[in-house]
Chain A
Amino acid sequence: MDSPLRQALGDGEKLGLRYALQIPQVAASGWTGTRSGRRNGSSIDFQDYREYQPGDDLRFIDWSIYARSDRLTVKLFREEVIPHLDLVVDGSASMALDDTAKAVAAARLASVLATAAANAQCTRAIWLSGEGFRRLPNDTLSPITWESFAMDSKRTPEQSFEIVPPKFRRLGVRVLVSDLLWPGNPLTLLRRLRDGAAALFVIQLLAREDITPPEHGNLRVRDSETGEENEIYIDSTIAAQYLENLAQLQQSWDQACRQCGAHMTTIIAEDLDDSLDKLQAIQLLTPA
């Protein structure tokens, strides 16, 4: 992994220390941990009694019942759970667009979210699309230790889902970080991401170059993923049409997100640090 990305992961970790992941109530199910869950567990909220079984926490034996009946009975409390974050990062080549801050911003944003998850006592898994989805090595450790955070795939996340889908944890919080720039029906991917999730957030990460059509003149545009090229003369009509196409794409994703109960926001890579309040607005992050 090149040093700017490693640097971005480190910077994102420092920035993420100011935030914590906001956990929806429905996510209160998972491994034993630090939040009130929906099942039996080890918090201080008493729930029920049952017979002692080997492996039970000895602190919860009710000695008064033992004295009366000579039977070991344990008190059950509401469980404490560790909520979980599944962070899905688009690993396609468009996320590492030349001469833009997109790749660095994606790494920085992933690091912020992972650190915010840790601040919220969440476990996490970082998934990167490519030839199928794969989990980043060392993703449970500090972001600076992540390996193989490379965005060079020619496949869209939707295609990656078809090859090897990620193994999401049930009732986890899922976050998709992508530029969303591929043709197709957004609902196809969103429904698969939303399935079994407590909440789904879609963060569209665009470069300033993506939202700013070039100046007038002849231009040969080349697709960063397919290598396909197109020649075009840019004038005010074409520039307006480009912006309209972008707006239509964002609208279609926004509508699809609403249908699936997901939250979506758009962030400009070059303005990432000033845009984190958008993530608070969609109730993904909260100040630590």
Chain B
Amino acid sequence: MIPFLTYPLALAALATLPALTAIYLLRNRFRRRTVSSLMLWHFTLQSRQGGTRVHRLQLPLLFFLELLALALLVTAATGPHWKSSQNNRPLIVVLDDSFSMRAVHDGASAQARAQKFLEGLFHHGAPPSVRLILAGKEPHSLGSIEKNWSQVAGLLSQWTCRSPDARLEPALTLAVEAGKDQANILILTDHKPDDENVSNRRVEWHSFGAAVDNIAIVNASRVAFENQDRCLLEIANFSTGSRSARLLVQAGTNTEAVPLSLDGRGSRRLVFNVPSATPSLHASLDPDALADDDDIQLLPPIRKRVRVQVRLPDENLTALADRILAATGLRSSISADPEIIIHDNASAATGNAWDLFWLTGAATNAFTGPFIIDDSHPVAQGMALDGIVWAAANITNAPGDVPIILAGNVPLVSTRDDAFGTRHLTLNYNPGLSTLQDTPALPILFWNLLRWRSDEMPGLKESNARLGADVTVKTDGHAVTMTRPDGVKKDFPATTGDIALETPMPGIYSVATGTITNQFSVNTIAADESDVSGCASGQWGKWSEDAQQRLEEASATWIFGLLALALLATHLWLVATAKGAR
């Protein structure tokens, strides 16, 4: 005997199948229309004209059947719910996205072990729904709520463990808010919680890390140093015992192996110079448990030179200005189409270039202080004027000018911006009666000025960055296209100002602005994540087994729908029989 024949409900359900097919055909007669919301389509009144068909049939039994079916459908359309008990709770998984999860122990990374654990969890009893939250530098919800393992596995492809930090606390807070004390929260990481006594009954903390030895590059920089580049590499040993390692440094075609002997929890800094023409400096350590922090690439620092034109009629003053500008090391060798013009004429036309009006006029007073310096201004950074004699014309601050250095109420250095954003500086300084030119303060002042100007030039501001840091590119009205190391391109429309570029993965990025293409390198440098000595495996916290089952809103629409379908099937049968009789 077929088992469902012994169950009247199953038999009734089977009987609705041909009815469902018939209803489907009828539904095709309806015009389709997508509306903003169905809430305006829930009516208390029924259509008057919709009843004409009932009158035409003139069959009381069919009339009541249709009426009852409509009532059931209307009830179903209102989305009735009831409280039903649920044994399983939704699951929110917080995933540690830091690169320490990629540390390999016994042939598998913590990430792989965590993923395997999650898959096993599904096979032993899938939760009704799952939401994933990545804990990187900031928490990031992976969006949709998934219900089976294949969907979750698809989302897990975004779990790359490339972040330089894993902020689990904010991610847990987000999970608690999203879960509303109804969902179980699972944290998958590689270290134990700060407070091992997990008090939240809805949280389980699973760690899959292992304390393994790791030697890592924890600091790397390459800066301009006169005609060469100065490089700094810092290598740290995060194990408790002494370790030896070999650092392979490749600068252009030259390769050098540096043997290292590092004490337990110790580090060593290497500082060396390379020719500025060296395109890329590549440093790597011997492979170990965590490969991400064993490799760095440093590109040459960006050397922006400022084109300065000196238009001073006084030869001595011109020589002084040229000497100071040369000392800054930031002056371009060419002065055509200048970016800064130094002159002594208040009404000089300077076009779009910044200008420094060097005022050496008569009625000069020699000031010995106190000098008031706006330390927050880029031109005044690092300036110290103690013991200096500064001779300057006895003038007061012009309206609209912002003083940077003052002697009493006499502005010595001031600035203003015109309507086009061009900056105009005034240097009230007579070197004939001053001692300023005999101190480092004057080169510092000019270095600050040229550095300020170069910072305002379009293009990248740095060529080497740490993973996760924003790299700023200044644009001058051209569209910007960034190409990531994996070849993915991102376009930014033409605009003026600073654009912050995200760096989600290590490697060489290229940035095209107009016809110019620059590159910058992103390296995995984060000492806290490289230190995997504190990693551990284990479980902290346990989801409580509630004695009282959780009540959840469950839809009862299907019950009304099923009853309506059964009525409609009966209705069709009656209509067919009546027609057959006639």
Contacts and interface: CB of A to CB of B under 8 A. Distances in A.
B465 to A, nearest CB: 19
B37 A233 contact: no
Interface stretch (B23-31, B306-314, B418-426, B504-512): B23-31
A185 interface: no
B174 interface: yes
B191 to A, nearest CB: 26
Contact of A220 (B32, B177, B374, B376): B32
Contacts of A245: 39-40, 42-43
A55 B32 CA distance: 67
B572 interface: no
Interface stretch (A19-27, A58-66, A121-129, A278-286): A58-66
Contacts of B492: 138, 145
Given A142-B495, A210-B36, A233-B50, A220 B31 contact: yes
A181 interface: yes
A189 interface: no
Nearest to B409: A63
B40 A242 contact: yes
Interface in B78-108: 79
Interface in A230-246: 230-238, 241-242, 245-246
Contacts of A141: 495, 497
A181 B47 contact: no
A225 B37 contact: yes
Contacts of A231: 27, 30
B408 A224 contact: no
A233 B43 CA distance: 12
B37 A237 contact: no
A54 B372 CA distance: 9
A111 interface: no
Given A145-B492, A237-B45, A221 B38 contact: yes
B561 to A, nearest CB: 12
Given A142-B495, A145-B493, A163-B178, A58 B36 contact: no
A179 B36 contact: yes
Interface residues of B, number: 47
A288 interface: no
B124 to A, nearest CB: 28
Contacts of B408: 63, 66
B33 A219 contact: yes
Nearest to A144: B493
A241 B38 CA distance: 13
A235 B497 contact: no
A241 B497 CA distance: 53
Interface centre among B47, B49, B402, B499 (most CB of A within 10 A): B47
Interface string B283-305: 00000000000000000000000
Nearest to A100: B36
Interface in A191-240: 206-207, 209-210, 214, 216-226, 228, 230-238
A221 B402 contact: no
A72 interface: yes
Interface in B389-429: 397, 402-404, 406, 408-409
Nearest to A179: B36
A85 B41 CA distance: 35
A29 interface: no
Interface of A: 54-55, 57-59, 61, 63, 66, 72, 94, 97-98, 102, 131-132, 138, 141-142, 144-145, 162-164, 179, 181-183, 206-207, 209-210, 214, 216-226, 228, 230-238, 241-242, 245-246, 249
